[in-house]
Amino acid sequence: MRRKVAGNLLWMLADRGLQVAVGIAVVGMLARALGTEGFAHFQYAQSLVFIAASIPLICSAEVVVPRLVARPDPEATHTLLAHAFGIRLTAGLAGYALICAYLAFTQQPADTWIPAAILGTAIMLREPFGVVIAWMQARTHNRPNVVFNLIALAAKAGLIGALFFTGVNLLPAYATAFAIEPLIASVLLAWYYLSRAPRTLPTRDASLTRDLVRDGTLFWVSFMLMVCARRADQLILKEFVPLAELGAYAATMQVLDNFTTIATILAAGVAPMYVFGQQSVGAARANVLRVTGGITAVGLCGAIILALCAEWVVQLLYGRAFGETVVLLRLAALASTLVFADVGLSLLPVFLRKPRWVAVKWALVLLTTVIVDLIAVPRLGTRGAVLGYAVGNAVALVVGLALVLRARLAAAVASA
């Protein structure tokens, strides 16, 4: 069993690592092809889609996977997945409609709304068909999903490479290349599941639908708050700085998103054995602190290296047109160490099954980020957004430490 779990985890980590590596190369080609202003439009569109993509997560894996494990019968599994798919698809359609309404209401230029409309199609594909991934996770068999992801990723990277090396610099063309990835992955996931699923059509169960929505709401709110906290800065910046500066900031955040993914990979690698596998809260809490210390040390070393090599990294990925990104990357890289610490501390509320704690944390982070940005961005521009990023991450860290302390006090009271 341990060998099966370890093998499945290695497949998941390999999938994420390859996605990060290819993502860095793709973003580099995208920035060089579109320039600072075109890249700013594209990243702004992606931020809108990223926020709206959290809407279909109302029935997330945290709700679906435990139910699948508890009800392994094929007919029960088929019924559950069908209902989860329907919920996510309905939410995905609502998310896409909200994007279109926002674009129309704010009267965005064509360079923003066209790529947003194309990229937004992923909202109706990723999460609805992602119920098959939850089914694989419940069976501890993620290898097919990794293979499908790599096929879709190769198609996207190949198409973007072809556009780049043929000198194409049209936003809709690159947005279409990005939209192909979730389309291919969804088709492959649907084929894989339907070829193994029962041939019966599940009967609609209103009570099951209500249960899935109710149980998933808190996780959904937490994730939406997190997404908004991570993307609010770019939405605010667009109103106060030139597009070239927004493009430089977006390039900085793109590098940091890929860098901080290391924290998630490390946490996913050690949490099952060292945290989730513990029987007592005290042992889990102690290991969370040890894991947080180790992850933070890795993040600090990486941040220092990234800051020292910022000029080389920016020129390699984006070219000379993104010179402003160098300064921003050096400042934000050091602040990203706080993200590594937060990822480690976040393992405790997951172990304790306290999604409310996570929701409160991200609500405070979002509120702090928006307040700091609204005050600092008009005065400091993109550096004010970096300040908001740092302060928001600091708030997340403080809340995480407070939750660890609260768990310790609760354990002491229970023991007494």
With contact defined as beta carbons under 8 Å apart, do 68 and 134 qualify?
A: yes
133-169: pLDDT as tens digits: 888 877 767 778 888 988 998 999 999 999 999 988 8
Task: Tell me: pLDDT of 1 over 70.
Answer: no
Average pLDDT on 366-381 reads 93
296-316: pLDDT as tens digits: 999 999 999 999 998 888 888
With contact defined as beta carbons under 8 Å apart, do 58 and 216 qualify?
A: yes
User: How is 28-85 classified by DSSP, letter by letter?
Assistant: HHHHHHHHHHHHHHHHHHHHHHHHHTTGGGGG-HHHHHHHHHH---HHHHHHHHHHHH
Residue 189 CB-density burial (10 A; 0-12 exposed, 13-18 middle, 19+ buried) = buried
pLDDT value of position 339: 93
Residues 6+ apart with CB under 8 A from 225: 359, 362, 363, 365, 366
Task: Tell me: pLDDT of 353 over 80.
Answer: no
Task: Tell me: pLDDT of 9 over 60.
Answer: no
Greater pLDDT, 19 or 55: 55
Quick one: tokens of 289? 């602190």
pLDDT confidence tier of residue 7, bands split at 50, 70 and 90: low
With contact defined as beta carbons under 8 Å apart, do 174 and 163 qualify?
A: yes
Average pLDDT on 205-225 reads 83
pLDDT value of position 2: 55
Report the alpha-carbon distance of residue 387 to residue 341 in Å, rounded: 18
Average pLDDT on 330-337 reads 92
Single-letter residue type at 361 = K
Residues 6+ apart with CB under 8 A from 391: 368, 369, 372
Phi, psi values for residue 204, rounded to 5°: -65, 130
With contact defined as beta carbons under 8 Å apart, do 234 and 44 qualify?
A: yes
377-396: pLDDT as tens digits: 999 989 999 999 999 999 99
pLDDT value of position 198: 84
Report the alpha-carbon distance of residue 120 to residue 175 in Å, rounded: 10
Side-chain-facing half-sphere of 104: CA atoms under 13 Å:
6
pLDDT confidence tier of residue 272, bands split at 50, 70 and 90: low
Average pLDDT on 130-134 reads 88
Q: Name the nearest CA neighbour of 309 among 259, 247, 263, 249.
A: 259
Report the alpha-carbon distance of residue 209 to residue 8 in Å, rounded: 30
355-367: pLDDT as tens digits: 788 888 999 999 9
With contact defined as beta carbons under 8 Å apart, do 99 and 49 qualify?
A: yes
281-290: pLDDT as tens digits: 788 888 888 9
Task: Tell me: pLDDT of 412 over 70.
Answer: no
Q: What is the share, in percent, of the chain residues with pLDDT greater than 70?
A: 92
Residues 6+ apart with CB under 8 A from 176: 118
Distances (CA, A) of 51 to 55, 57, 385, 391: 8, 11, 18, 21
> Is the four-CA dihedral 3, 347, 366, 213 of positive or negative sign?
positive
With contact defined as beta carbons under 8 Å apart, do 117 and 178 qualify?
A: no
Say what the pTM is: 0.76
- Which residues of 300-400 form beta strands (DSSP E)? none
Quick one: tokens of 26? 């793709």
Phi, psi values for residue 142, rounded to 5°: -90, -5
Task: Tell me: pLDDT of 196 over 80.
Answer: yes
> Is the four-CA dihedral 254, 256, 257, 258 of positive or negative sign?
positive
